[in-house]
Amino acid sequence: MTDQALRFTQNPLLSPKDLNPSREGLEITCLLNPGVFTFENKTWLLVRVAERPAQQEGIISFPVLTGDGIEIIEIATADPDLDAGDPRVIRYKGVDYLTTLSHLRMLCSDDGIHFYEPEGYPYLQGETTQEAFGVEDCRVSLIEGTYHLTYTAVSGQGVGVGLRTTKDWKQFASEGMIIPPHNKDCAIFEERINGKYYALHRPSSVDLGGNYIWIAESPDGIYWGKHQCIIRTREGSWDSARVGAGAAPIKTDQGWLEIYHGADAGHRYCLGAFLLDLDDPTKVLARTDDPIMVPTAEYETSGFFGHVVFTNGHVVNGDELTIYYGAADEFVCGAKFSIAELLSSLTYSHDR
């Protein structure tokens, strides 16, 4: 069996129309890829809210952050200097831009299904020039009482990993960019191993190498070194073009279980799993050959960017793993897995 996900019958749990835009003149185009955490006995989503102005015929318009607000850039679709083949990113006069500007917003729930926006919590916006095109796809790791938020920081300088920390979700400390471009999909393990912090991350190499998952260690959770490549794409497979970590690995008695996304050349994003050694997480013990989840539901195959299931947040309760995921880059959905079933679908190998 290849798709093991038990999708929520209430999917999609959240759609762009469910929230209000962050400012006048913008619309929410996509609600996607939530980081997930528990806090004060509730399940919380740190959801990515992607916004842009209402689009007019013949013009592509999108916001970018400036020091004190936003600027709307408008480009005629007929402009010969415009390459707008991908709905997510455009190239204009040799410079790349995103078509939406993302911030992160907190939603909470008592049952893990119905989410609402509580009052009194800030929106997490891009703050520096390194975040001028927004902040995206946050992983939340609770380590020794401090929530570590690793997110994609996007700007004209590139795509890197930013870190903010908080204990109360009201006050945040910014640690700046912890891994420079091109890098994303960073998840910090929720406990130290032999005294060291570990994180998964995903550099992209345009020439030699590829879009592979790497692991790094750190003495303090901020400064990272000893980087090693652990999971590569597989030619001819569902994860042939890119792979990237989901949320923090899940500790099981057989090893650290990681849910990851893999895409093929046609940009179909599926989920898979791999297992790392408990004592030395740079060792890959096993990996699924087949995807554990494939975009098949209508809300996964059609939307802002269809044929995508992408997760960066989950809740573990005994054998039950509840993932929250972005569907078609437009909706937030939920699905359950059995951890025992995931473990039994792994293929053990020394050649990964």
Contacts with ligand MAN, residue ranges (CB under 6 A) = 88-89, 98, 136, 152, 154, 159, 184
- The smaller minimum CB distance to ligand MAN, of residues 200 and 346, is found at 200
CB-based closest residue to ligand MAN: 88
Strands of the sheet containing 225-231, edge to edge, are: 183-188, 197-203, 213-218, 225-231
Q: What are phi and psi of 266, to 5 degrees?
A: -85, 10
- The smaller minimum CB distance to ligand MAN, of residues 23 and 88, is found at 88
- The smaller minimum CB distance to ligand MAN, of residues 132 and 275, is found at 132
Min dist CB 282 to ligand MAN, Å, is: 26
Min dist CB 310 to ligand MAN, Å, is: 8
Min dist CB 269 to ligand MAN, Å, is: 9
- The smaller minimum CB distance to ligand MAN, of residues 43 and 152, is found at 152
Min dist CB 62 to ligand MAN, Å, is: 11
- The smaller minimum CB distance to ligand MAN, of residues 257 and 263, is found at 263
Three-state SS letters, 2-53:
CCCCEECCCCCCECHHHCCCCCCCCEEEEEEEEEEEEECCEEEEEEEEEEEC
Min dist CB 258 to ligand MAN, Å, is: 19
